Amino acid sequence: MMIDKIGGINPLSEVQNSRRTSESSKISAGSDSISVSEEAQKMSDAYYLQEVAAETPDVRSDRVAQVKEKIKDPSYLNPETIRSAADRIMTSYGL
């Protein structure tokens, strides 16, 4: 007498399924890669800089408040301070 099924379960199907699983795990996935053109990289950098510039305030209010406090002091406005400020302004304009 040959018994091939016990209680409706085929013991051979479990062996076959485990072989299929182990064989499919041997398949290695190929490596994917992308390349970005130099023009696209430059556009990305420009977009990032534009976003940073949009988020940065035009006026540094903390610095303006410091200067206003210094100007209130009468001893701060002397010829040396005025000359230094004028030189910085001229240098920023390239003169």
Query: Is residue 48 assigned to a domain?
Result: no
Q: What is the mean pLDDT of residues 15-24?
A: 55
Residue 8 lies inside a defined structural domain of this protein: no
Kindly state whether residue 81 falls inside one of the protein's structural domains.
yes
Number of structural domains (the chain) is 1
Tell me the pLDDT band of 27, cut-offs 50, 70 and 90: low
Q: The dihedral of CA 46, 89, 75, 69: what is its sign?
A: negative
Confidence (pLDDT) at 10: 60
CA distance 48 to 82: 38
Domain that holds residue 75: 60-95
Is 4 a domain residue?
no
Has residue 15 got a pLDDT over 90?
no
Please, are residues 70 and 76 in contact by the beta-carbon 8 Å criterion?
yes
On the question of pLDDT at 16 being above 70, the answer is no
CA 13, 14, 16, 20 torsion: positive or negative?
positive
Model confidence, pTM: 0.32
CA distances from 20 to 16, 28, 44 (A): 6, 15, 46
